[in-house]
Chain A
């Protein structure tokens, strides 16, 4: 898994570990969905060609629509789409989908940039959903409940998703500590200005202001 044998260059071990950790997270039961349902959500996300995944019957239509739109056409995601899913299936369900699909987009995006085949999705681990959801959070001009603060806290309603999301920053980009340094650089590798250039153009083409 994640050997990147076909990549044109060797891939850092910490990045391979980060992706392997995400895959293990995908396979485990989440707060709302069990492992098989999470796998089905990810199958839907990857079905941009409108094929119907074999696991389609495990995912309600509104959840499938959110997963697929977020993965395939993120600029088309709006409050109505998210609220359709959240109002019908719960706030935590919507947050779990946003988390899974966003992290899948990270791993798949890097694979496309390295021109290697996408990693097959992991086999689900059996067990019931955990039900662990943070109490007391509210929507504040946002699509889903979250605390005040920057984007790293956007998934805090579901602690296991928030943790997996935040843990992935360092190997892919910078840790929170590294973010404090405008002259951070990977040596050998890109410096921060070069990394910010990639992030800026990516966000612009995704039509994402943030």
Chain B
């Protein structure tokens, strides 16, 4: 879905940035959004307040609220997926095979 929405906005994105956030993603404020998620997951040492300020300066105060809400929503969706064991359709895996390989997603299909 990220790929389709990036096309809709005519962004030239590098999806490898999702797994390697040192790569510019090509979406306005995108690397700040990635940094916010990393801070919340404890994989970045940046101060949360600094990332919040940078996001507000770059994208506006409403963007921080939206990012928090989406982050929360996917904390929920990921847990429903893990808890229910809902399978990934093989056709979806085949359709996104390049992305699956690039991001190492096959390793996540453990259950």
Are A154 and B80 closer than 8 Å at their CB atoms?
yes
Interface size on A, residues (CB 8 A): 76
Cβ of A55 under 8 Å from chain B: no
Interface size on B, residues (CB 8 A): 67
Q: How far is the CA of A166 from the CA of B49 in the complex (A)?
A: 31
Contact with B along A197-210 (1 / 0, CB 8 A): 11111111111111
Pick the interface stretch among A32-40, A46-54, A185-193. A185-193
What's the least CB distance linking B108 to chain A, in Å? 4
Cβ of A57 under 8 Å from chain B: no
Q: How far is the CA of A15 from the CA of B81 in the complex (A)?
A: 23
Q: How far is the CA of A130 from the CA of B78 in the complex (A)?
A: 27
Q: How far is the CA of A62 from the CA of B5 in the complex (A)?
A: 41
Are A115 and B37 closer than 8 Å at their CB atoms?
no
Q: Give the most central of A15, A71, A146, A199: most B CB within 10 Å.
A: A199
CB neighbours (8 Å) of A78 from chain B are 110-111
Are A102 and B79 closer than 8 Å at their CB atoms?
yes
Are B56 and A201 closer than 8 Å at their CB atoms?
no
Are B76 and A102 closer than 8 Å at their CB atoms?
yes
CB neighbours (8 Å) of A59 from chain B are none
CB neighbours (8 Å) of B4 from chain A are 182
A190's partner among B8, B41, B67 (CB-CB below 8 A) is: B67
Are A197 and B84 closer than 8 Å at their CB atoms?
no
Are A188 and B83 closer than 8 Å at their CB atoms?
no
B72's partner among A106, A115, A189, A191 (CB-CB below 8 A) is: A106
- In the complex with contacts A142-B87, A193-B5, A193-B8, A171-B69 CB distance below 8 A: yes
Are B80 and A155 closer than 8 Å at their CB atoms?
yes
Minimal Cβ-Cβ distance residue in B for A103: B76
Cβ of A128 under 8 Å from chain B: no
Q: Which 3 A-B pairs have the closest CB atoms?
A: A143-B85, A113-B68, A110-B72
